[in-house]
Amino acid sequence: MTLKAQLQADIITAMKARETAKLGTLRLLSAAIKQREVDDQIELDDAQVLAIVEKACKQRKESIAQFLQAGRQDLVDIEQAELHIISAYLPAQMSEADVNAAVAKAVIDSGAAGAADMGKVIALLKPQLAGKADMGKVSGLVKTALNAL
């Protein structure tokens, strides 16, 4: 079952169970997917749907940080609940040791000689780690590894 089909099935399940919070969140996610399909006039595959899910998670995390700074715990709770629902559609996250190993292998495979070759290393890592690791942290690990050369 594709990720998009799973999302639609979960929307129907949430409707039947009268889970309004979950239903609203899933509908927002579905709307983002449909908007992208209409804008680009394409049928999204799982990788593209996963990118939309990752973006939604990132938006929720940023909102949580801003609401915490503003002292709005009520809004933080809502965003955390939505993040929990949306993150269920992400693949299992890789362990830090696995990410470090992938970074080390990519540095060797790309033949990187310094920080100027960061783009080459990231280009190798992105298809492997997309959705499985926080690419911001991966970028930091790559930068550290390349500065050590």
Same domain, 27 and 48: yes
Residues 2-53: tens digit of each pLDDT: 999 999 999 999 999 999 999 999 999 999 999 999 999 999 998 899 989 9
Domain range for 105: 96-147
Q: What is the C-alpha separation between 111 and 134, in angstroms, rounded? A: 23
pTM to 2 decimal places:
0.78
User: CB under 8 Å to 96, separation ≥6 — which residues?
Assistant: none
Residue 27 belongs to a domain with what CATH number? 1.10.1510.10
Residues of the chain with pLDDT > 70, as a percent, come to 100
Residue where a domain terminates, one of 87, 107, 123: 87
Mean pLDDT taken over the chain: 91
Tell me how many domains the chain contains: 2
pLDDT, average across residues 100-125: 87
Same domain, 17 and 61: yes
Q: What is the dihedral of CA 32, 37, 38, 43, to 10 degrees?
A: -150
